[in-house]
Each structure stands twice: as C-alpha cells, then as structure tokens.
Structure 1
C-alpha cells in the first residue's frame, strides 16, 4: 500500500518552523570622549610632584673646612721668633680655627706693640668679615665682666663705635674642662655683628674677635659662631711636654750624625 506524500503547503510550514533566525548584534553606542578640566589635570600633576619631592631626601651641604691656627703671642721685640723659623705648634699659647680659603693678614711690629694684635685672618670675598686676636701682658686674672669690655674698647676705636651704637650687648661667663674662666660677648651693632671671647693665662689677657657686617652675619652666622667657640688657650704643661719630646729627637739625630762623621 503506497504512503501518501505531504502536500506542498505542509512542506512549506515545516521548513519555516525549522528555520533559525540569526539576530544582528545591536549597534555599538557612540561614546563621546571625556576630557578632564585643565584645572583638574594641573592639580593632579602638582600632587604627583609634591609626592616625588617629599620622597626625595633633602640636599645635604658639606660643612666648610677649617684649619687650626697656632698663635704664639710673642712680644713685638721677638716677633717672628728667631729668624722667623720658630715652631709655632711647639710654642703656641692659643689656638683657633680658620675657614678654608681665608687669608692671613701680616701684622706689623708697630701694630703688635700699640694695640697688641697678634694674628688676623679675613674672608677674601669680604674683607670686613674677619677673625683676629689681641693680647696684653701683666694680667693674672679677669676683672669684672663689664670692666673688661670697656678696657678692650680703649685701644680699639672700631669697637668703641660699635658698642656706642649697639642695639644690644650680651655677656656671659663659662669655664672649660680645666676650669679656666672665659668671658663671651655678643655685640649687635648698627652695621656689624661681633663675638668676643676673653680669658687670662700665662699672666696675659687674650681677646679673640669674630666680626662681620650685618648682611654677612645673617648668611654666615653658624660658621662665625663656630669660629668664636673654637678659641682656647694652650695648657703650658702641654707645650713643655711637646718641647721635651722634640728636643731628644734632635739630640739623637745630632749624635748619629757625629758617629757617622767619626767612622767615615
């Protein structure tokens, strides 16, 4: 018995039901580019720079170099030692530090004999920024603190003017590790600033001065205070010990030279 074939209309309905409809993807939305305001961009850049700067270590500046000066406080008659070849370190009566690059001003015998200036150094870039020492013989001990400053001004016209026009003059007393007494003065003048340290030893009065114009003082204050604090007198016993240690070495060298000449 033959089977009946489906009609064309039935085939059409079956095909339409079996067909798969493929949907097209929806169109991508148009995105308008977003630009940050200029102020926001600058603020972000500034914040990033601040973070970088805070993380970086602050620049460090090396302390200026200093040289130690040995002063002999010799009288005008013995100025320069025997032939100018005396060993200053072996005969030093005081020391103070001098900045690297400062120049020494040669003190004349007349100046040494009149106001007792023994040594002086100055900044070659600003000659009025200087450091110097004066001494006077015949002082066993310090007078009252106010009297000492007045007596120093008697032989220094510049110091007289500075004190007369000073906005403030401060003074204090201190003692070193050996118990030696020092007077420290600070004078804020109208045009310059000075630090003075005074003490007595070996029957002499030593006065160490550090002075600079006010503009230079504001720039170099830390360094100038360091110079002021560096001044001290040399213990006489240490000088004697040094000379005793040097002389046997010289004697031994002379003896060896004599032996060599004898056998040659």
Structure 2
C-alpha cells in the first residue's frame, strides 16, 4: 500500500509528485502550499470511513492552496491552474480522427513585459490526450515561452515567441525570410530550443508555405525534436515538439504531424 506526497518546488509554479512508502499499517499524506506549513494526516488503517475522511481533508488542503492539482503520470508533474480542470480555452472538440485544434485566444495574457503589442494568434493540432501545462517564470527561456503542452506517453511541445528586435532593428513587419535562410535560422535559434549548439544535429530541413507565410521545418537528433520556425508582426515563433527515444519511435508520425500543423493565423 502506498500514498502520494505532493510538494511545491520554490523554483517553479508546478507541483512535483513522488510516491512515498508506508510503514506497515500507517499511512501519511501531505499537501504543501508555497507559504503555508504542510498539512499532514496520519492514521491506523480503520476501514473505508477513515479513508474517505482522509481524502476529504487532503482535498480541502489543496483547495486552501488555491490550486487545482492535475497529475501527469510518468512525468512527475502536476498543473496548478484552475482552468486546466476543464476543457482548455482555445482547444477545440476532437475531429473525426480524434485530433483537437488549439488556437491561442485573442485575449490571452502572457508574461511578455510592459509595452508588448498583442501577440498574433497561432494554432496547431494535437491528438486526444495532449493537455496544456502551465508555464513557469522559472522556465529556461523565461517569458518568451508562451505555451506548453504534453502527453506523458507521447511527448511534449512548447512555443517560444521572441521579439524580432533581439535580432534586427528594422523588422516591425517581419517574415522568416527577412531574418535569414534555413541554415542561418536553425544555427541562430536552434540553441534557444535544445540548449546547445545544433552543429551536426540537423537531420533534415524543409520549407513550407501556407496562406502566404513561409515556415522552416527542421528535425534534429539528438535530442529528438522537430522545430517549426516562422515570423509575423514583430515576433519570431519557434514551435518545438520533442520526446524521449521510446516515445519518438512509437509516435514519430504523430509528433511530425503536430510539428507540421503549426500556423500563425
């Protein structure tokens, strides 16, 4: 028999979960808030009634933290945004193939600093089972990571929305071609995604056009990752889809389809 301990990491807005062994007939559970002491319950095994009381107490403690806990099995991650308890805003109902389309809501706020113009919305498709994961201010890339999604069995993705003025002063109406050719873009911005130089890691690259906008598409290894890059307004968009080795082998086709579905709308 085992229980779960839910802990708050001070460097992230996510909860971390880990299993904790029980000693013989005793059970313990804790819910820890960012600025509250841990609330714990210990009991002897006394049947279903006590178990129900224990669950109610833990649920009340989680509510006191002002958070909705959503676990991601296998990832050790849980979200703390109440909106995640239901259907994600911007995520459509499944189509006939079970895929959903996410479109960034026009009024969605983002941690992109004072003075930013509204972000031109983007969209992409994911299979059933992919869910939004809250973005932490502690994330590598800081406020430029606009969105995360994940499926614990298949992989994860994130969207980087970076100001073009980081790269050029005269690109208020940017296109990816103005920023550079595919080789220049992946060499300059690939490290933004994988955290290291991309030399020797680019397996393939392609160029696609949709509604008059050009997209650069790359596959890198290692790590296993698809990157789609484009530009619009005064921003560069980097869409990254990645997975571990086993996930990549089993879900390669779907991961590639997710990466190629990215559009700035």
- TM-score scaled to structure 1, two decimals? 0.51
Q: Which of 200, 204, 214 pairs up with 1:170?
A: 204
Q: Any gaps of 5 or more consecutive residues in structure 2?
A: 1-95, 165-170
Between the aligned partners of 2:112 and 2:227, the Cα distance in structure 1 is: 27
1:136/1:64 CA distance change after superposition, 3 Å: same
1:62-77 alignment runs, 5 A limit:
65-71=98-104, 75-76=110-111
1:97-176 alignment runs, 5 A limit:
97-109=125-137, 111=139, 114=142, 116-125=144-153, 129-138=155-164, 139=171, 140-142=174-176, 143-156=180-193, 158-160=194-196, 163=198, 166=201, 168-176=202-210
Q: Any gaps of 5 or more consecutive residues in structure 1?
A: 1-62, 80-90, 235-264
Between the aligned partners of 1:185 and 1:115, the Cα distance in structure 2 is: 24
Is 1:181 matched with 2:220? Answer: no
Task: String of CA shifts for 1:101-140, please: whole Å, max 9, x gaps.
Answer: 22321013454973611111111236xx211111112251
What SS does the corresponding residue of 1:225 show, helix, strand or coil? helix
Answer whether contact 1:121 1:130 (CA < 8 A) is retained: yes
Task: String of CA shifts for 1:163-196, please: whole Å, max 9, x gaps.
Answer: 3573x532121211x221110101122xx42111
Between the aligned partners of 1:122 and 1:153, the Cα distance in structure 2 is: 20
2:43 maps to which residue? none
The count of corresponding residues between Structure 1 and Structure 2 is 155
Answer whether contact 2:175 2:214 (CA < 8 A) is retained: no
Answer whether contact 1:75 1:113 (CA < 8 A) is retained: no
- TM-score scaled to structure 2, two decimals? 0.50
1:165/1:213 CA distance change after superposition, 3 Å: farther
1:95 maps to which residue? 123
1:221/1:147 CA distance change after superposition, 3 Å: same
Between the aligned partners of 1:171 and 1:165, the Cα distance in structure 2 is: 13
Which of the pair is proportionally richer in helix?
A: 1
Superposition CA RMSD, Å: 3.1
What SS does the corresponding residue of 1:146 show, helix, strand or coil? helix
Between the aligned partners of 1:174 and 1:188, the Cα distance in structure 2 is: 21
Runs (4+) of structure 1 exceeding 6 A deviation are: none
